[in-house]
Structures are given as structure tokens and as C-alpha cells.
Amino acid sequence: MQAPGTPSVDQLLVLLTVVEEGSFSAAAKRLRRATSAISYAIDTLEAQLGLPLFDRGTTRKPRLTPVGEAIVSEAKAVAYSVETLRARVRGLLDGLEPEVSLVVDSIYPSDRLVTALDDFHKKFPTVPLRLSVQPLEGVERVVRNGDAWIGVGGAIHMNTTGLELMSQIGAVELIPVAAPHHPLALSGDTSASRAGEHLQLVLSDQPEPEGRDYGVVSLATWRVGDLTLKHRLLLRGMGWGGMPEPMVRADIEAGRLVRLHLRDWGGGDYPMQVVHKIETPPGLAGRWLIERLVLSLPPYAGTTQSRTASIGEVSPTSRETAA
């Protein structure tokens, strides 16, 4: 059996046009070609494939054969790929980068991130996105390793030496919470000594602490590297800890968690910023996404010194946060 030939993209587009228009003459009019040219393209395609695509003898208008219907289905996929390719090329010619790679601090509210990414996809449907979510200093590490071009992370967990600081992106409010049946939620004693008697869940990207802890008031701590897992542990009542307010708002309203009013750690703002490596600045799509992310968070008006003191977090040399 002779192997089928390779049809051209133009032949497949002619085939689809004939099917959509219902006749060779109508396809010729739409494509601004002679009817004989359309017939020749279809005849050549059938000869190359070795299959009859149209049943021309039973009706006045060409009707697809069963194998013709199967070929049309594949031709549609090819045509879609070609259009996607052309759109990508137009974007590259207009200055769009071939890909946007982004790493975001896990404290960034996921609902706002999803909304921003949805807007990004609508604005730049042909630009692929590579997204990583990391805790704390993991954002800086991923950017420096070159695994992401844009990093959105906590200001106190990011050493910008050798990086380009693009924008202060805003802040996320952190609050201490516990399950309603937790002793701290049931007791009126919210002193630091009282809180220190209970297990504190601490977000960390390292199994062992490095440097001095800030905002960690309990001798008994679990260091958890995943914010979602920490959330589940808090809901189970296995400890208390700080969480992004947007992430636990529905839990507090539903009574699944209780906001604690601790004397020495009442919460605070977690300021965030956007960085990239100096040698890999974002292109048009990346800059648009950054501006969209900036608008997603409320602005932060404090200074670096005051926000570190008010939030009670960690020093830049440490890898834990009470969040």
C-alpha cells in the first residue's frame, strides 16, 4: 500500500471552505479564486491522500463521504493550530515575550491571584504562563535560580541585592487565629505567656530555623512549609497561628475559626514587592501582569522598619514567619 502524501495547509483550508460554503463555486467566491482552481485543489488533495473526500455523483452539491468527514475533523485541528501559530507570531512581532514565568508568595490571596491571571489570559491569550507558588524566601530563590523571571514576595523575606525592584505591590493583613474549641479561643487570657503554653504553627520553608525568630512566642512550634496545610491544621484545632486575613475570612464568618486578640502579637501587614533579575526584564505581557497584580492588593503606607515591628515577623536572615 502506498503511503499517503503530505497535504499543504492551503489544500486543507480549501477543503474546509468548501464544506462551510456548501459548493465549489461558493468557496471560490469566498477565497477569490476560480472554481477550476478549487476543483483542482480538492482533486490533488484526494490524489495525495488516496481517498475520495466528496461524493459528487449522487447530488448536485458535493457531499462528504464518511472518510471525508474524518479528514475534515483533522483538517479543523490543523487549521486551529495554524491560526494559533499566526497569533503567536503576531504577538512576538508586537513585542510580546514567548512566555511569562511567575513565582508568587503563598501568602498572596489566591482568589485575587486567580482573578488577575484570568484577566491576563483574556488580554494575552497566546502567551503561555508558567506559575510557581512558594513560601517566604522561596520566591527569591526561584528568581535567582532563573526558574522564574518575575517574583512577587514578602519584602522582609527578599534580599534585592542583584535584583531589580520593580514595585511595592501592596500588603496582606495577617491575623492570629485558632479553632473555636481551642483553649486560647475559649479563655479570656490572651497574654504572651498564655499563648506560649500552646502549640504555635509557624510557616517555614526550612525544616530547621535559621537566625532569630520574630513573632514566635511559643516554645512548642510546628514549622509547616505549606500554607494550605497549616490552614487545615488550624481548622482541626491542632494549634494557633497567624494567617492571611483573606484566606480565613470565610472561616471566621462561619465560626470555623476565631480571631485571637493577643497582647504581644495582634497581627499586622505583610508588605509585598515585585522583583526580577536585572538581565531578564519582563516584556509587554509581563509588565501588564505586574500592574494588574499591584492593583489587586491594598497599598501599604508603612516603612520597612515600622512594618517589621508591627507585624512581628522574622528578620531578613531568618526563614520563618508567624504567619
Architecture of domain 9-93: Orthogonal Bundle (1.10)
Mean pLDDT over the full length of the chain:
79
Distance CA 181, CA 229 (A): 19
Contact assessment for residue 260 and residue 240, using Cβ atoms and an 8 Å cutoff: yes
pLDDT digits (tens, 9 = 90+) for 24-33: 888 888 888 9
CA atoms within 13 A on the CB side of 282: 26
Residues near 280 by beta carbon (within 8 Å), at least 6 away in sequence: 146, 149
- How far are the Cα atoms of 12, 18, 179 from residue 68, in angstroms, in the given order? 12, 12, 64
In this predicted model, what pLDDT tens digit does every residue of 58-109 receive, in sequence order?
666 778 888 888 888 888 888 777 776 765 665 565 566 778 889 999 988 8
Q: How far is residue 313's CA from residue 320's CA, in Å, rounded to a whole number?
A: 8
Residue 250 confidence (pLDDT) = 94
Stretch among 88-97, 132-141, 267-276 having the lowest mean pLDDT: 88-97
User: What percent of the residues of the chain are helix, what percent strand, and what percent coil, each to the nearest 5?
Assistant: 40, 20, 35
Side chain identity, residue 245: E
Domain borders along the chain are 9-93, 97-323
The model's pTM: 0.63
The grid cell for 323 is 504567619
Task: Choose among 233, 234, 242, 238: nearest CA to 313.
Answer: 242
Q: Confirm if 191 and 168 have CB atoms less than 8 A apart.
A: no
CA distance 290 to 277: 15
Comparing 83-92, 130-139, 303-312, the range with the smallest average pLDDT is 303-312
Q: Which CATH number fits domain 97-323: 3.40.50.2000, 3.50.50.60, 3.40.190.290, 3.40.710.10?
A: 3.40.190.290
**CA torsion angle 227 230 232 234 (round to 10):** -130
CA gap 193, 197 in Å, rounded:
7
Distance CA 115, CA 196 (A): 38
Whether 293 shows a pLDDT value over 80: the answer reads yes
57 — pLDDT class (breaks 50, 70, 90): low
